[in-house]
Amino acid sequence: MSSEHSKTVSSRQIEVATLGGGCFWCMEAVFSELRGVEKVESGYSGGALADPTYEQVSTGKTGHAEVVQVNFNPKVISFKEILKIFFTMHDPTTLNRQGADVGTQYRSVIFYHNDEQKATAEQVIKEITEAKIWNAPIVTQVEPFKAFYKAEDYHKDYFKKHREQPYCKLVIAPKIAKLREHYHKKLKVLDKKSYENL
């Protein structure tokens, strides 16, 4: 993300979270539903290769993780709330995989943008660990944000555009259903048709 873009975002009192929790199609669909979230973009972070393609990242050799960059209004939804939803919507105990998606590109990772985000991430992980919500240790990485490379256009709104695809029906739809069940008070206004179309 350019420094110019950072200034624009901060001037509007919008913060940015960069999170990897498996396939970015899933994460984009989840965070797009939340009140206070102004924009969600799928992309790549954490690797050394500049402007990687989906094909390159999919090899698992670039060091990048599939991530979502979430622009949110902290007056409506806090970074801590976003992280709690993040940890609910994926399994943070499986190293370099989410279900059938296997590889370092699917690792659980939080790329923090400042010291406050780092401290919050570490605190949330500590709270979840102490609460013993998961039976196995959390392996989510907490790393400094360096760069975000936007994914190709065909990945945008993938779930909305391809609901009938097996992956969307079997993997993403259950996550959205879980989100709506557990965090319905955090959702943007949804009409009945939205639920029926899931």
pLDDT band, very low/low/confident/very high, at 12 (cuts 50, 70, 90)? low
**Domain extents in the chain:** 3-196
Return the CATH superfamily for domain 3-196.
Answer: Peptide methionine sulphoxide reductase MsrA (3.30.1060.10)
- H runs (alpha helix) in the chain: 3-11, 24-31, 54-58, 79-89, 115-131, 158-161, 166-167, 173-182, 192-196
What percent of the chain stands above pLDDT 70? 89
CB atoms within 10 A of CB 128: 18
Question: Which pLDDT score, from 0 to 100, does residue 189 have?
Answer: 65
Q: Which of 1, 17, 19, 23 is catalytic?
A: 23
pLDDT at 176 over 70: yes
Q: Supply 149's token pair.
A: 């490379």
Question: Which pLDDT score, from 0 to 100, does residue 190 have?
Answer: 59
23 assigned to active site: yes
pLDDT band, very low/low/confident/very high, at 162 (cuts 50, 70, 90)? confident
Per residue in 44-55, pLDDT (tens digit) is: 999 999 999 999
Question: What average pLDDT score do residues 166-188 get?
Answer: 90
Q: Compute the distance between CA of residue 65 and CA of residue 197 in angstroms, rounded to an integer.
A: 30
Distance (Å) of CA 90 to CA 53, 69, 94, 146, 171 = 24, 16, 10, 23, 11
Residue with tokens 């392996």: 139
Provide the whole-model pTM. 0.87
Per residue in 20-36, pLDDT (tens digit) is: 999 999 999 999 999 99
